Amino acid sequence: MATRSMPAIRALVVSDMHVGSVFGIWNKSFSIGDSALRNPVQKVLFQYWANLCTFLHHWKPTSLLLNGDLIEGLNHRCGGRYLTTTSMTEQAECALSLLKMMPIRDVEVYGIGGGDYSRNEFIDSHQMIVESLGGEFCDDQLFLDAKGHTIHLSHGSSTAFVYYEQVLAREGMFADQTSVAGQIPDVEILLRAHWHKWIHIQRAWKGEADRHIVVGPGFQGQDEYMSKRSPLRLVPDVGVVLLSISRDRVLVDRILYPTPLVREKAVKL
């Protein structure tokens, strides 16, 4: 008698929503005071989010992985100038309302913090979001066993001004070194974020298994930091990562949307 194969894990990976930034997504139904404050970039991002939620009703995720920077925090770099709200509580509640738009009832949820590790409130806000969804939270990293495939979830890695792939290759090398030393499990899938870029490196690893090193896109337009540092290079990707994992196969995909433009028109001379 043939045995029925177990259904695959369908993991949705979301990161870098930066709710609270005027360049980040905001729920049109979440009001501050008398009205919901949204600008054209946020309106476009919310349309993308609604489209994503519609897709997910058909794709039916079984896991939700939240890879940090779901809220903006206080944005000390710019003195809080580019914030929809300075309240991290309001930012976190809005982020939670957006995530609850997704079909995630009875879905396993795992999440970590993000880049602003200097403030307890930032980490506590992420913990509130994850645990409000019935999930498991860890400050900085998680190891997950998905049908025998080990996933390492961490928000960021060292930076690269041009050659992102070199940095990610080093991440794979460090994973092998620490695994051989017995300090961590063998990691087959490395999930990163922070760069707001979609990057997927797949290479031969062990036997028939490939290693996947993935950087996920965000859900934020080009903010003031990107435009000041390198406006033509730091153009963010907008979207999410999709993982389909069975006992013998790992498939990595993504959904990407056009980056909303903060400055749409050229100035005529």
Residue 262 forms part of a structural domain: no
Residue 14 forms part of a structural domain: yes
Per-residue model confidence (pLDDT) at position 3:
44
**Residues 17 and 69: beta-carbon distance below 8 Å:** yes
**Residues 108 and 150: beta-carbon distance below 8 Å:** no
Dump strand ranges (E) for the chain: 9-14, 63-67, 108-112, 136-138, 141-146, 149-154, 189-192, 199-206, 209-215, 238-245, 250-257
Residue 142 forms part of a structural domain: yes
Domain limits at 21? 9-257
Residue 1 forms part of a structural domain: no
Burial-class residue 37 by CB neighbours within 10 Å (0-12, 13-18, 19+): middle
Residue closest to 107 by CA, chosen among 240, 189, 243, 12: 12
Per-residue model confidence (pLDDT) at position 265:
66
Per-residue model confidence (pLDDT) at position 158:
65
Alpha carbons 47 and 44: distance in angstroms, whole number = 5
Per-residue model confidence (pLDDT) at position 156:
83
List 111's β-bridge partners, or say none.
66, 137
**Residues 177 and 171: beta-carbon distance below 8 Å:** no
* Residue that the structure tokens 């930066």 belong to: 18
Could you list the pLDDT tens digit for every one of the 269 residues in the chain? 444 556 899 999 999 999 999 999 999 999 886 545 678 999 999 999 999 999 999 999 999 999 999 999 988 777 678 899 999 999 999 999 999 999 999 999 999 998 755 578 999 999 999 999 999 999 899 999 999 999 999 998 666 667 888 889 999 999 999 999 999 999 999 999 999 999 999 999 999 999 999 999 999 998 888 877 787 778 899 999 999 999 999 999 999 999 997 766 667 77
Write the CB contacts of 267 (distance below 8 Å, at least 6 apart in sequence): none
Residue 263 forms part of a structural domain: no
Split into its structural domains, the chain has a count of: 1
pTM of the model: 0.92
Residue 210 forms part of a structural domain: yes
Per-residue model confidence (pLDDT) at position 186:
94
Residue 16 forms part of a structural domain: yes
Residue 49 forms part of a structural domain: yes
Per-residue model confidence (pLDDT) at position 1:
42
The CATH number given to whatever domain includes residue 135 is 3.60.21.10
Per-residue model confidence (pLDDT) at position 6:
67
